[in-house]
Structure 1
Amino acid sequence: MQKIQFFIITKSIGLYLNLLSYINVDNAKSKAYRLFTSPRKGKLNAEALPKILQSATRETIEYGNEKIQAYIWKGTSRGASDVGPAKQTGFREANDEVILLVHGWESNASRWKKLLHHLIPLGKTIIALDGPAHGLSGGTEFSTPKYAEFINVIAQRFEPKILIGHSAGGAAISFYLNKYKNPAIEKVILLGAPSDFKIVSNNFVKLLSLNDRVRLKLEDYFIQRFQIGLDDFSGHKFAQNFSQKALIAHDLQDNVVLVDEGRKYANTWKNAVYIETTGLGHSMHDAELYKKIAEFL
Structure 2
Amino acid sequence: MSLKKSIRFIVVKSVGQYINLLHFIDPKKALHLSYTLFTNPRVGRISNKDLPSVLQDTDKETFQHNEHQFQTYTWKGNDTKILLVHGWESNSARWGKLLPYLQQSGSTIIAIDAPAHGQSSGVNFNVPLYTEFINKAVEKYQPTIIIGHSIGGAACIYHQYLHPETSIQKMVILGAPSDLKTLLDNYIRMLSLNPKMFTPLEKHYLKNFSIKLDNFSGATLAKQIKIEGIIAHDINDTIVAFEEGKKIAANWKNGRFITTNNLGHSMHDDTLYKDIYDFLFEAKK
Q: Which runs of 5+ in 2 are unaligned?
A: 281-285
Aligned counterparts of 1:16 and 1:227: Cα–Cα separation in 2: 31
Q: Which residue of 2 aligns with 1:225?
A: 208
Q: Which residue of 2 aligns with 1:92?
A: none
C-alpha offsets along residues 57-100 of structure 1, whole Å, 9 cap, x if unaligned?
Answer: 11111122221100001113xxxxxxxxxxxxxxxxxx1x2110
User: Which residue type is aligned with residue 228 of structure 1?
Assistant: I
Identity value in percent: 46
Q: Which of 68, 78, 82 pairs up with 1:99?
A: 82
Q: Which residue of 1 aligns with 2:142?
A: 159
Aligned counterparts of 1:41 and 1:162: Cα–Cα separation in 2: 28
TM-score (norm: length of structure 2): 0.94
Q: Which residue of 1 aligns with 2:39?
A: 37
Residue 16, structure 1, aligned to residue 15, structure 2: no
Q: Which of 88, 108, 123 pairs up with 2:106?
A: 123
User: Which residue type is aligned with residue 185 of structure 2?
Assistant: N
Q: Secondary structure at the match of 1:127?
A: strand
C-alpha offsets along residues 215-247 of structure 1, whole Å, 9 cap, x if unaligned?
Answer: 221022233233211211101110001001001
Q: Which runs of 5+ in 1 are unaligned?
A: 77-94
Q: Which of 258, 263, 272 pairs up with 2:241?
A: 258
C-alpha offsets along residues 93-123 of structure 1, whole Å, 9 cap, x if unaligned?
Answer: xx1x211000111111011111110011212
Q: Which of 139, 155, 169 pairs up with 2:122?
A: 139
Q: Which residue of 2 aligns with 1:271?
A: 254
Q: Secondary structure at the match of 2:208?
A: helix
C-alpha offsets along residues 25-60 of structure 1, whole Å, 9 cap, x if unaligned?
Answer: 122111111110111111112112111101211111
Q: Which residue of 1 aligns with 2:283?
A: none
Q: Secondary structure at the match of 1:177?
A: helix
What is the aligned-residue RMSD (CA, Å)?
Answer: 1.3
Aligned counterparts of 1:238 and 1:222: Cα–Cα separation in 2: 20
User: Which residue type is aligned with residue 2 of structure 1?
Assistant: K
Q: Secondary structure at the match of 2:259?
A: strand
CA contact (8 A) 1:43 1:135 kept: yes
User: Which residue type is aligned with residue 38 of structure 1?
Assistant: N
How many pairs does the alignment contain? 278
TM-superposed deviation, 1:261: 1.1
User: Which residue type is aligned with residue 34 of structure 1?
Assistant: T
TM-superposed deviation, 1:158: 1.0
C-alpha offsets along residues 165-195 of structure 1, whole Å, 9 cap, x if unaligned?
Answer: 0111101111111223343221000011110
Aligned counterparts of 2:215 and 2:193: Cα–Cα separation in 1: 23
1:2-81 equivalent positions in 2, closer than 5 A? 2-76=4-78
Aligned counterparts of 2:6 and 2:116: Cα–Cα separation in 1: 28
User: Which residue type is aligned with residue 14 of structure 1?
Assistant: G
Q: Secondary structure at the match of 2:271?
A: helix
Aligned counterparts of 1:17 and 1:189: Cα–Cα separation in 2: 38
Q: Secondary structure at the match of 2:275?
A: helix
TM-superposed deviation, 1:212: 3.3
C-alpha offsets along residues 128-169 of structure 1, whole Å, 9 cap, x if unaligned?
Answer: 011111111111111111211111121121111211001111
Shift >6 Å, 4+ stretches = none
Aligned counterparts of 1:235 and 1:34: Cα–Cα separation in 2: 24
TM-superposed deviation, 1:24: 2.4
Aligned counterparts of 2:156 and 2:44: Cα–Cα separation in 1: 19
CA contact (8 A) 1:25 1:213 kept: no
TM-superposed deviation, 1:203: 0.6
TM-score (norm: length of structure 1): 0.90
Aligned counterparts of 2:105 and 2:219: Cα–Cα separation in 1: 29
Q: Secondary structure at the match of 1:181?
A: coil
